[in-house]
């Protein structure tokens, strides 16, 4: 979510206040996309939506001219139920993966269990800020072991390569002798922004040899061009 340039259209309009709101929106966007702290996420998400609404209203009233993303369209997209669920679930997955990483480093099973319990106890405190589908999502999570940092790094490199070549989605490719968990994901399409090893990307099991590939959609020509460039 990049920085937008705002220009005054009416002398009576408080451009300084709008510029500050814009800075807040960009700061909040960075935190929303990266934090694993629920208090930070939900408070900044609310502030982000509040300030984005103000900026969108200013643009719609022709009080400002915007270079970059259309704020009216961005706000219309962000305030939909579908986008809210996607944003919150992405945070839940990120916090869960962080929890699993930390639990995997603990020596005792009791310590691991306490780490997982802390996650669920913490999330339960924010249910009033979540749609029901997000509550169901976090309650269905199952502890995972971080089996191979090497595989994780490989998948993340594949993600970067796919993104750099203009694709926004990937397909889960299960190997021929994959486990039931991996087979259930075989052929499923996910957004690159939602890629989480151990959740919707390899490694999903102890001996995982699965992979991912760019999702072609209907443009087979672009996909073939990408393949030829490798």
pLDDT interval class at 125 (50, 70, 90): very high
Q: Which whole-number Å values give the CA distances from 224 to 122, 154, 161, 228, in the listed order?
A: 46, 22, 14, 6
Domain extents in the chain:
5-79, 84-139, 149-229
The predicted structure's pLDDT at residue 12 = 43
Selection from 13-22, 56-65, 107-116, 213-222 with the highest mean pLDDT: 107-116
Tokens (6 digits) for 97 = 């993966």
The whole-angstrom separation of Cα 24 and Cα 49 is: 11
CA-to-CA distance for 180 and 182, rounded, in angstroms?
Answer: 5
Q: What is the pLDDT of residues 188-198, one digit of tens each?
A: 998 888 888 88
* Selection from 82, 119, 95, 83 nearest residue 41 by Cα: 95
């Amino acid at each position: 979510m990049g920085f937008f340039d705002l220009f005054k259209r009416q002398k009576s309009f408080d451009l300084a206040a709008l510029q500050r709101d814009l800075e807040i929106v960009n700061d909040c966007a960075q935190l929303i996309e990266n934090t694993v702290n629920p208090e930070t996420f939900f408070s900044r998400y609310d502030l982000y939506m509040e300030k984005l609404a103000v900026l969108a209203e200013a643009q719609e009233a022709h009080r400002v001219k915007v270079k970059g993303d259309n704020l009216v369209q961005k706000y219309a997209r962000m305030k939909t139920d579908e986008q809210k669920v996607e944003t919150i679930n992405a945070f839940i997955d990120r916090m869960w993966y962080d929890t699993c990483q930390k639990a995997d480093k603990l020596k005792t099973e009791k310590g691991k269990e306490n780490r997982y319990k802390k996650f669920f106890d913490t999330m339960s405190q924010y249910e009033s800020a979540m749609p029901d589908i997000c509550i169901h999502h976090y309650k269905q999570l199952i502890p995972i072991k971080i089996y191979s940092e090497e595989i994780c790094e490989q998948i993340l490199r594949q993600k970067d390569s796919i993104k750099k070549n203009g694709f926004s989605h990937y397909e889960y490719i299960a190997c021929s002798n994959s486990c039931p968990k991996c087979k259930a994901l075989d052929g499923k399409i996910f957004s690159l922004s939602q890629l989480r090893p151990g959740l919707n990307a390899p490694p999903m099991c102890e001996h995982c040899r699965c992979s991912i590939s760019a999702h072609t959609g209907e443009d087979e020509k672009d996909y073939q061009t990408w393949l030829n460039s490798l």
